[in-house]
Structure 1
Amino acid sequence: MAARGLFPDMLPRMLAMGLAAVSMAMAEVPSGATRLELVTTPAVAPDGKTMVFEWIDDLWLASTQGGEAKRIVDVPGRDAHPQFTPDGRRVVFSSDRTGSLQVYSIPTGGGETTRHTWHTEGCELKCLSPDGKEAIIRGMRERWGFRATRLMRISLEKDRREQLLFDATATSAAWAPDGESILFCRGGEQLYRKGYKGSRASRIWQLDIATGRSVLKVEEEGDARSPSWLPDGRGFYYVSSKTGTPELWLARDGSPPEPVTRHEGDGLFVRPASVVAPVIVFHRGAELFRLSPGEQAVPLALWTREKLPDVSTETREIRSTTDADFTTGGDQVVFAAGGELWWIKGAGVKPVRLTQTAEAESNARFSPDGSVLYFLKDDGITTSGHRARFKDGVLSDEKTVMSDRRSITSFRPSPDGGRVAWIAGTGDIFTANADGTGSRRVYPCWDRPTFDWSPDGR
């Protein structure tokens, strides 16, 4: 079938080429320049030649071919989720410079910033209307709790009250070229659950603005996310996980969806604002790629000569912790904060960091004599219990005692230090020898309990 819209008559040829991201050498960074790594939330200008994106909490402009990037927003706070207005003259974005995320806009070439929202709960920019006069935002208002956010319509030109699109949670939003409908997503599992299939999968709906009625457009076993309209409004692109890997697909009116990209391993992530004829900019892994008609997707090398903040020193302010343990004499304390373990010896002494890893450490407990420290590590997939020798703020001889893909809490040594116990999953209590051998479930439970060792450890 001949491709129309963004890639006229090119889709079969591109699929034949495989559309694999080529392994090409990244462009050399000029002397004195800094390479931009881990840029996020790219958006492509209407002419397809320029893109805006977030990096180190500021907004930057660069060519969609890569190369030098120039900062257009540089204020305290995070500036994110940028989008070009349809005429390409302004960039609309979200910023927390006043304490909560609000919507602002700025001329593309830089200049005075205009604020568009004022609600104290804040909001996140989702999409702009075809004429650039309105926007869809997502935020929390009267409701609270699980998935309490809603999509709302605001004016970018007049002081006007927010208008609720519908009273249900939703995520992505894309305004149709004719201005009469909006694509949005409901549901969706966490992105780290790659290949998820089930009732929690994201589905794509279409809202008729005039009637307020919604029609289900895409329902698959896996997630269907990030819809983006074709210029003629007769179909849309979206990210589908139907093959187990997130890929870009094209759904035309009256035709089955067609794959646009095919990868092995990591899939891709596409923002609706980064799909603009004839260019698509997307994330795959830590890299940014550009896809054009008749070409393979190529990684973009970005760099800047601008002065950047010094990040060689990390400063953390620790305000509180709910996870701490004292030695028997009460003169030392170990606690978890910011996903790391810290140690204090004596009042008024600065904390010493015990761990600095990619995993999140928690639940630290001293052995009865204070010579061994027990703690948990969580890498997002597996939780493991560890023990390490402890002396004068230094951990050594660390060993894994147990590990489980279920959540683990209350990892504690017995009073004599010979055994450990913990809660796994929904509430099962396990015990084992201090080295992890002899593990057994001693109390099955479906409702997570609390427990403590008896004084004799039996």
Structure 2
Amino acid sequence: MMQKFMYPLVMSVLLFGADDKKWDVTAEFGPTETITFTTSEGTWMSCDVSPDGKHIVFDLLGDIYVIPITGGKANTLTSGPAWDVQPTFSNDGKSIAFASDRSGGDNIWIMNRNGSEPRQVTNEKFRLLNNPVFTADDQYIIARKHFVDTRSLGAGEMWIYHVSGEGSGMNVTDRRDWQHDAGEPDLSPNGKMLYYSQDVSPGNTFQYNRNPHDGIYAIHSLDLESGEKKTVTGGVGGAVTPQISPDAKRLAFVRRVGTKTVLFVRELATGEERPLFDRLNRDSQEAWSVFGPHPGYGWTPDGKAIVITAEGKLWRVQALDGKVSEIPFTVKVTQKLTEAIRFKTPIGGSMFDVKTVRGAHVSPDGKRVVFEALGRLYTANKDGKQRKLLTSGGSGFEAHPTWSPDGKEIVFTTWSDPTGGGISIISAKGGKSRQLPLPKGHYFNPSWSPDGTKIAYRKGTGNFIRGPSHSVEPGIYVVNAKGGSTRLITEEGRQATFSQDGERLLLHSREGDKNALIGVKLSGGDRRVIATSKFGSRFSIAPNGDWIAFTERFHVYVAPMPKTGKILDLSTKMTALPLVKMTKDSGFEAHWSADSKTLHWTMGPELFSRKLSDSFTFTEEATVEIPKAPESGVNLGWSEKSAIPQGTAAFIGGRIITMNGDEVIDNGTVVITNNRIRAVGPADAVTVPKNAKIVNVSGKTLLPGFIDVHTHV
């Protein structure tokens, strides 16, 4: 959902999550001001031409406007905080369809040509919609529907809906997979042929930084009578945003040519393609474009010209020779802006709070907890007191700690760049650890057998941080806890744990399109699927085998686990078994107590615990009224001294892009003392301290004070 409010989503949760009030896009959330200005240009504007050729409708900053075909002062059709975009005329010219989030999510709406009587056509809550187009009889609308699976990236399908708003719609096209997009539908004048853009790049997952010159998108056609699908155009530079001409003989589309985005026309009878206009806004074929790789546009009814936006303006492009003329417009814009919530964040202080605790695991007797923070292992009482370092260090980063069944030892993984990864065991009291005699590798999630004699672990592969070396023969292995030869059990799965009897390994894997908990014999083979879930993961069976926990959308759930010999399909909507959401806000790395009566998990620095008797009415020791999920846990965090470098350094001779407006210094000096920038300026204006370390950065560019909070390289 796109919002014109400059306001974090968290505030909407704070305001409306507690009492479950219906979300209202138009409501004011905090101090709000109204700003008004007049503009004659816009960014990423979609437009369409009325069937009578007299008007142009277009969107600007989430509102919809209309002007005469010759240009002029715009009349406002929609306004307010809702994000209204992609307007398109009905074939009779009486209505305008558009995409809007005014109902809480992006859906398709229809209004009269003058902007009156807006009415909702679709009512999607999750699979949201955009890019509407009327069918030839104006009785239906085809729009792009967005589907996501395990990634936030998704794929589009074309769906058809009745304009009355009745019914839930039906799909017209099927998505290629979950991560290759499709969208931007357009219909032939007789309503028999559907055109749309389709990501045809190789593979089955979305890739960043793809090369549009190799061809990312193509335009497909679908015969709505025979169901025959064809590729109309594509290839070098791709092809997106199709618009069929009124006589159905030509197809306009957008293609990348070199560094430019160009409007093309294709003669459908001959296949001849001609560039018309090479000053378009840069298309977004490489990116993930839920609303389409380029803004929409339209033909004039006589088929002689195309009206399209570029360089912030509206243009009339002659279809015959590509001659271009500007269609001038002015818009009086009125926008409501809500004051953003801002928190002062201390940076570079002498102390900081440790807020990230990972791999927390409560001891078998329930009295102690081991966890990783700052790359080291710590133990503490379960109430968070008497925290101490577990190891003497020296092995690099430490992670994935797990108690032995008797609580006397802890196994964990290590990693350092010089020596690689390993698995070590240490007394629960601390002291010197002993490393298992394993070859250099990438090791994860060691776990103990119930009798404490064996350790299962995953040997993985490297990545761009740890490097690719020592990645041969990955899989799930078992080794004697006292050392000895290792044994490959299976190449499948991760997060291996032993079954209650110690005869099998339980692994996280995949079964079809679902996450799965599977089991295999220690001798290998006899693969059995125990549980599956479409969206759930991190399955954990209680030691007594009677309960199963899983995580879905950052919450932890528990259900009883009957023995049926069949696969247990888990979800938050399951009704076959009792199900309890154990967490209030969210939870991570859930694990069971040794007696199977309590589930533990963490969130940030806090350790949470909840008994089954406080969760299910039918358990032993359960009270008549079940308590709510715990709101807070035991804080395992603390304040740590910051690692602050000491000394002064001067970077001289470089080009400096300062944070002072658009100031650029060609020959500048930056002086840093400890962890603070002390001086920035021209070389002849900054005095370099005598004790400073000099770093010559001639030919380099510095950006002192610039913080890039998110980037892809």
Per the TM alignment, residue 298 of structure 1 is displaced from its structure 2 partner at its CA by: 1.9
In the TM superposition, 1:369-384 aligns within 5 A as none
Offset at 1:59?
0.8
- Is 1:196 paired with 2:201? no
Structure 2 residue aligned with 1:66, among 67, 71, 74? Answer: 71
User: Which residue matches 1:137?
Assistant: 143
> Quick check: 2:251–2:266 contact (8 Å CA) kept in 1?
yes
CA distances 1:28-62 after superposition (whole Å, capped 9, x unpaired): xxxx9823321511111112221111123211111
Match of 2:50? 45
Corresponding residue for 1:444? none
| Residue of structure 2 equivalent to 1:228 | 243
Aligned pair 1:166/2:156, yes or no? no
Paired position in structure 1 for 2:548: none
Q: Which residue of 2 aligns with 1:284?
A: 310
Distance in 2, matches of 1:367 and 1:309, equals 45
User: Which residue is 1:275 aligned to?
Assistant: 299
Is 257-266 or 165-174 further displaced after alignment? 257-266
1:368 matches 2:645: yes
Shift of 1:262: 4.6
Contact 1:220 1:242 in 2 (8 A): no
Q: 1:44, 1:281 within 8 Å by CA — same for their partners in 2?
A: yes
Residues 245, 267 of structure 1: 8 Å contact kept: yes
**Who is 2:271 aligned against?**
256
Change beyond 3 A, Cα 1:77–1:437:
same
TM-score relative to the length of structure 2: 0.40
Residues 438 and 289 of structure 1, relative CA distance in 2, 3 Å threshold: closer
Which residue of the other structure, out of 83, 101, 105, is the alignment partner of 1:96? 101
Within the candidate set 223, 228, 234, 1:213 is matched to: 228
Alpha-carbon shift at residue 283 of structure 1 (Å) = 2.4
CA distance in 2, matches of 1:219, 1:279: 23
Conserved? CA contact 2:297–2:309, under 8 Å: no
Aligned to 1:179, the other structure's residue is in SS state coil
What secondary structure does 1:197 align onto?
helix
1:284-363 correspondence to structure 2 within 5 Å:
284-292=310-318, 296-304=323-331, 306=332, 308-309=334-335, 315-318=339-342, 326-330=348-352
1:43–1:84 Cα contact (<8 Å) kept: yes
Farther-moved stretch of structure 1 (270-279 vs 89-98): 270-279
* Shift in CA distance, 307/215, structure 1 to aligned 2, threshold 3 Å: closer
Distance 2:139 2:681 in 1: 59
CA contact (8 A) 2:212 2:238 kept: yes
The one-letter code of the counterpart of 1:276 is T
Measure the CA separation in 2 of the matches of 1:94 and 1:265.
Answer: 23
For residues 148 and 675 of structure 2, the distance between their equivalents in structure 1, rounded to whole angstroms, comes to 51
Q: Deviations over 1:3-40 (max 9, x none)?
A: xxxxxxxxxxxxxxxxxxxxxxxxxxxxx982332151
1:293-321 C-alpha deviation (Å, 9 max, x unpaired): 678312232114x573477xx83234899
Structure 1 residues 438 and 94: CA distance shift in structure 2, 3 A: closer
AA in 1 matched with 2:77? I
1:154 to 138, 161, 164: 161
The one-character-per-residue Cα deviations of 1:163-186 (angstroms, maximum 9, x if unpaired) are 112221412211111211211111
Deviations 1:173-230 (A, max 9, x none): 111112112111111789x9898311x5211111122333311111321111111112
Unaligned stretches of 5+ residues in structure 1: 1-31, 332-364, 378-385, 400-416, 419-432, 440-458
Amino acid aligned to 2:233: V
Instruction: Please tell me whether the aligned partners of residues 186 and 203 of structure 1 are also in contact (alpha carbons under 8 angstroms).
Output: yes
Within the candidate set 180, 185, 193, 1:181 is matched to: 193
CA distance in structure 2 between the partners assigned to 1:217 and 1:104 by the alignment: 30
Report the equivalent of 2:84: 79
What displacement does 1:150 show?
2.0
Letter in 2 for 1:208: D
| Pairwise CA distance, 1:143 | 3.9
Matches within 5 A, 1:427-446: none
For residues 71 and 156 of structure 2, what CA distance do their matches in structure 1 show? Answer: 35
Match of 1:360 in 2: none
Q: CA deviation at 1:276?
A: 2.9
Note closer, same or farther for the CA distance 1:84–1:438 as it changes in structure 2 (3 Å cut): closer
Q: Which runs of 5+ in 2 are unaligned?
A: 1-35, 176-180, 284-292, 354-641, 652-656, 659-668, 683-691, 701-713
Asked if residue 397 in structure 1 is aligned to residue 413 in structure 2, the reply is: no
Residues 79/158 of structure 1: CA separation in 2 closer, same or farther (3 Å cut): closer
1:428 corresponding residue in structure 2: none
Question: Aligned in 2, Cα 1:148/1:56: closer, same or farther, shift over 3 Å?
Answer: closer
Deviation at 1:234, TM superposition (A): 2.7
Residue 126 of structure 2 corresponds to residue 110 of structure 1: no
CA distance in 1, matches of 2:643, 2:93: 60
Letter in 1 for 2:134: L
Distance 1:90 1:389, change over 3 A: farther
The percentage of counterpart residues that share the same residue type is 17
Query: Considering only CA atoms, is the larger Rg found in Structure 1 or Structure 2?
Result: 2
Conservation of the 8 A alpha-carbon contact between 1:327 and 1:368: no
Residue equivalent to 1:430: none
Contact kept in structure 1, 2:187 and 2:193, CA below 8 Å: yes
* Alignment check: 8 A CA contact 2:108 2:120 kept: yes
Ranked by relative contact order (alpha carbons within 8 Å, sequence separation 6 or more), the top structure is 1
Question: Contact between 1:249 and 1:257, CA under 8 Å: does it hold in 2?
Answer: no
How many aligned residue pairs are there?
A: 329
| 8 A Cα contact 1:35 1:301, kept in partner | no
